[in-house]
C-alpha cells in the first residue's frame, strides 16, 4: 500500500486524556479498556452501545488488562495490583521505588503479565521489564530500560516484540522454551528522528507489527521482516498505542496524549480506524 495514502480515522471517544495509553479489547465484555496514566483513570468503551465507564485508581496507572476470571490487573506506580470482579483491590507485586512508576504492559499467550517501569524524569537505564506469572512470581527480564513501552507477540507466540522508546527501535526476542521467558534480543526495525519516537505496538493476524509514533503523528505497519508497508497519518501529534478491537477484531483503536505540547482539539481522545485489518485475540491475565 502506498505509504502516503491518507486513511479516514474516526473519533471513538472524545476525551482530554493527559496520557492516554494501553488500548486492549476485552472479548468477555465487548469493551475496549484503556488508561489515562497521569490522571489515574481506567476507561472502558463499548462500541456496540456507546457505553463508557471510568475507574479512578489510587495512583498513576500505566496499564490495565482483563483477568481470566473477571476484573483487571493493573500496572501501577508501586507495582502490579488486582481488581476483583466486585471492585476490591489487592497487591499482587508490591515494589515501590521512589521516582519510578509502571508504564506499558501486556499479557503473553501463557497468561503472564509483562510489565515495564520507568523513572518519572526518564533517567537512562532507570526502568525495568518484568514477567509476572499468574501466581505473582516476578522475574526481571531487563534491568536497564529507560522508557519501557510497546509489547506484543507473533501469531505463533514464538517471537516477542518490545520497545524501549529512546532507542528509536523495535526489538524482537525469541521465546525461551520451558521458562516462559525471552532470549536473543535483536533489532527488528530502527527509525530516524523524523519518524518520532516509537511508543506502543500491536501485532496483527498476518504477523505485521503496528507501531504508534509519539511526536510522529502516525501509526505505521511493518511486515514480519521489518519492512514498512503502511503509514496511517493522524490528526494528533502524540499517538501513544494501538490495538485491534470490535467483535471481529478488525477495527484499530489508537490512544493519544495531550501532555507536554500545544494540543490539537482531538489530542487525548480515543481514535479508531474501522476495518484496518485483522487483529489477534488477546489473552487475559491468568491470575
Please tell me which residue in 171, 199, 204, 251 is annotated as part of the active site.
Answer: 199
Residues in the chain: 287
Residue 162 CA neighbour count, 13 Å, CB half: 30
Q: Which three cell numbers stand for residue 126?
A: 532507570
**The residue to which cell 463499548 is assigned:** 46
> Which residues, 6+ apart, have CB-to-CB distance to 231 below 8 Å?
3, 4, 5, 218, 219, 220, 221
* Distance from the Cα of residue 261 to its chain's centroid: 21
Catalytic site residue 104? no
With contact defined as beta carbons under 8 Å apart, do 113 and 130 qualify? no
| Cα angle, residue 14 at apex, residues 56 and 276 outer, rounded to 5° | 110
Place of cell 500496572: 75
CA gap 91, 78 in Å, rounded:
9
- Residue 254's closest CA among 86, 46, 23? 23
Per the CB < 8 A criterion, the answer to whether 112 and 132 are in contact is yes
Whether 217 and 197 have beta carbons less than 8 Å apart is answered as no
Query: Which residues does the annotation mark as catalytic?
Result: 199
Amino acid at each position: 500500500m502506498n505509504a502516503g495514502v491518507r486513511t479516514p480515522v474516526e473519533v471513538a471517544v472524545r476525551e482530554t486524556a493527559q496520557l492516554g495509553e494501553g488500548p486492549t479489547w476485552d472479548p468477555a465484555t465487548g469493551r475496549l479498556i484503556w488508561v489515562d496514566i497521569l490522571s489515574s483513570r481506567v476507561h472502558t468503551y463499548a462500541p456496540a452501545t456507546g457505553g463508557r465507564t471510568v475507574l479512578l485508581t489510587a495512583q498513576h496507572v500505566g496499564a490495565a488488562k482483563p483477568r481470566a476470571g473477571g476484573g483487571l490487573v493493573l500496572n501501577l506506580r508501586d507495582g502490579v495490583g488486582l481488581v476483583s470482579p466486585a471492585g476490591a483491590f489487592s497487591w499482587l507485586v508490591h515494589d515501590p521505588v521512589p521516582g519510578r512508576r509502571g508504564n506499558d504492559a501486556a499479557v503473553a499467550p501463557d497468561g503472564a503479565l509483562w510489565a515495564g517501569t520507568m523513572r518519572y524524569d526518564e533517567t537512562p537505564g532507570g526502568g525495568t521489564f518484568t514477567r509476572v506469572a499468574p501466581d505473582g512470581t516476578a522475574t526481571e527480564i531487563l534491568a536497564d530500560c529507560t522508557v519501557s513501552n510497546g509489547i506484543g507477540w507473533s501469531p505463533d507466540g514464538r517471537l516477542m516484540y518490545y520497545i524501549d522508546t529512546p532507542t528509536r527501535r523495535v526489538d524482537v526476542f525469541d521465546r525461551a522454551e520451558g521458562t516462559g521467558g525471552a532470549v536473543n534480543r535483536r533489532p527488528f526495525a530502527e527509525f530516524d528522528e523524523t519518524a518520532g519516537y516509537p511508543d506502543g505496538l500491536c501485532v496483527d493476524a498476518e504477523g505485521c507489527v503496528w507501531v504508534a509514533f509519539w511526536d510522529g503523528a502516525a501509526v505505521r505497519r511493518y511486515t514480519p521482516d521489518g519492512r514498512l508497508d503502511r503509514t496511517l497519518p493522524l490528526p494528533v501529534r502524540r499517538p501513544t498505542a494501538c490495538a485491534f478491537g470490535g467483535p471481529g477484531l478488525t477495527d484499530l483503536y489508537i490512544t493519544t496524549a495531550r501532555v507536554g505540547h500545544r494540543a490539537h482539539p482531538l489530542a487525548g481522545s480515543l481514535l479508531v480506524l474501522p476495518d484496518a485489518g485483522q487483529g489477534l485475540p488477546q489473552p487475559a491475565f491468568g491470575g
